[in-house]
Protein backbone atom coordinates (compact mmCIF):
# COMPACT_ATOMS: atom_id res chain seq x y z
CA UNK A 1 0.00 0.00 0.00
CA UNK A 2 2.83 2.39 0.83
CA UNK A 3 4.44 1.86 -2.57
CA UNK A 4 1.27 3.01 -4.36
CA UNK A 5 1.18 6.20 -2.26
CA UNK A 6 4.73 7.09 -3.31
CA UNK A 7 3.87 6.51 -6.95
CA UNK A 8 0.79 8.73 -6.62
CA UNK A 9 2.85 11.53 -5.01
CA UNK A 10 5.42 11.25 -7.80
CA UNK A 11 2.71 11.53 -10.45
CA UNK A 12 1.19 14.57 -8.75
CA UNK A 13 4.61 16.26 -8.72
CA UNK A 14 5.04 15.53 -12.42
CA UNK A 15 1.56 16.86 -13.24
CA UNK A 16 2.21 20.04 -11.25
CA UNK A 17 5.56 20.51 -13.01
CA UNK A 18 3.92 20.12 -16.43
CA UNK A 19 1.13 22.55 -15.49
CA UNK A 20 3.71 25.08 -14.25
CA UNK A 21 5.60 24.82 -17.56
CA UNK A 22 2.40 25.21 -19.58
CA UNK A 23 1.45 28.29 -17.54
CA UNK A 24 4.92 29.78 -18.06
CA UNK A 25 4.77 29.13 -21.80
CA UNK A 26 1.31 30.72 -22.03
CA UNK A 27 2.52 33.75 -20.07
CA UNK A 28 5.46 34.23 -22.40
CA UNK A 29 3.28 33.77 -25.48
CA UNK A 30 0.77 36.35 -24.30
CA UNK A 31 3.63 38.82 -23.79
CA UNK A 32 4.17 38.83 -27.53
CA UNK A 33 7.05 36.45 -27.92
CA UNK A 34 9.64 37.85 -30.30
CA UNK A 35 11.17 41.28 -30.46
CA UNK A 36 8.08 43.37 -29.71
CA UNK A 37 8.22 46.34 -27.41
CA UNK A 38 7.45 49.99 -27.30
CA UNK A 39 9.55 52.69 -28.92
CA UNK A 40 8.98 56.40 -28.70
CA UNK A 41 8.81 58.49 -31.85
CA UNK A 42 9.91 62.12 -32.05
CA UNK A 43 6.38 63.39 -31.32
CA UNK A 44 6.09 61.70 -27.94
CA UNK A 45 3.70 59.00 -29.15
CA UNK A 46 4.35 55.32 -28.57
CA UNK A 47 4.43 52.66 -31.26
CA UNK A 48 4.49 48.95 -30.58
CA UNK A 49 5.45 45.99 -32.71
CA UNK A 50 5.17 42.25 -32.39
CA UNK A 51 7.52 40.22 -34.55
CA UNK A 52 8.77 36.69 -34.89
CA UNK A 53 9.71 33.83 -37.19
CA UNK A 54 7.47 31.04 -38.47
CA UNK A 55 9.42 27.78 -38.58
CA UNK A 56 9.11 24.02 -38.33
CA UNK A 57 12.79 23.21 -38.03
CA UNK A 58 13.55 25.69 -40.82
CA UNK A 59 11.96 29.09 -41.54
CA UNK A 60 8.78 29.06 -43.63
CA UNK A 61 8.47 31.68 -46.38
CA UNK A 62 5.21 33.09 -47.78
CA UNK A 63 3.06 31.88 -44.86
CA UNK A 64 0.02 33.92 -43.79
CA UNK A 65 0.17 35.10 -40.17
CA UNK A 66 -2.95 36.41 -38.44
CA UNK A 67 -3.01 38.46 -35.25
CA UNK A 68 -6.20 38.88 -33.22
CA UNK A 69 -6.42 41.12 -30.16
CA UNK A 70 -8.67 40.70 -27.13
CA UNK A 71 -11.34 42.94 -28.70
CA UNK A 72 -11.55 40.87 -31.89
CA UNK A 73 -9.51 43.19 -34.15
CA UNK A 74 -7.66 41.13 -36.77
CA UNK A 75 -4.55 41.97 -38.77
CA UNK A 76 -2.64 39.80 -41.21
CA UNK A 77 0.70 39.68 -42.98
CA UNK A 78 2.86 37.27 -45.01
CA UNK A 79 6.26 35.96 -43.87
CA UNK A 80 9.34 37.01 -45.81
CA UNK A 81 11.89 34.64 -47.41
CA UNK A 82 13.38 33.99 -43.93
CA UNK A 83 10.03 33.24 -42.28
CA UNK A 84 10.02 36.59 -40.45
CA UNK A 85 6.90 38.66 -39.79
CA UNK A 86 6.07 41.86 -37.94
CA UNK A 87 2.87 43.59 -36.81
CA UNK A 88 2.30 47.18 -35.73
CA UNK A 89 0.19 46.67 -32.61
CA UNK A 90 -0.50 50.35 -31.93
CA UNK A 91 -4.15 50.68 -30.91
CA UNK A 92 -4.62 46.94 -30.32
CA UNK A 93 -5.44 45.41 -26.94
CA UNK A 94 -3.38 42.49 -25.58
CA UNK A 95 -3.32 39.62 -25.08
CA UNK A 96 -2.85 38.62 -28.70
CA UNK A 97 -3.66 35.38 -30.50
CA UNK A 98 -1.43 34.39 -33.44
CA UNK A 99 -2.34 31.91 -36.15
CA UNK A 100 -0.42 30.79 -39.22
CA UNK A 101 -1.79 29.32 -42.41
CA UNK A 102 -0.07 28.15 -45.54
Summarize pLDDT for 53-94 with one digit per residue, the tens.
999 989 999 999 999 999 999 999 999 999 999 999 999 999
Give the pLDDT score at 63: 94
Q: How far apart are CA 97 and CA 66, in angstroms?
A: 8
Instruction: Kindly indicate the confidence band of residue 28, based on its pLDDT and cuts at 50, 70 and 90.
Output: low
Domain 35-101 carries which CATH code?
2.60.40
SS3 18: helix
Chain-centre distance for alpha carbon 69: 12
User: What are 1-20's pLDDT values in tens digits?
Assistant: 555 555 555 566 666 665 55
Amino acid sequence: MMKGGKIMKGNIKRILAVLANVFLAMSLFSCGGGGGGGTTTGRGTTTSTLSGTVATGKPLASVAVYLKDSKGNIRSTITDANGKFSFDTTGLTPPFYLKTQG
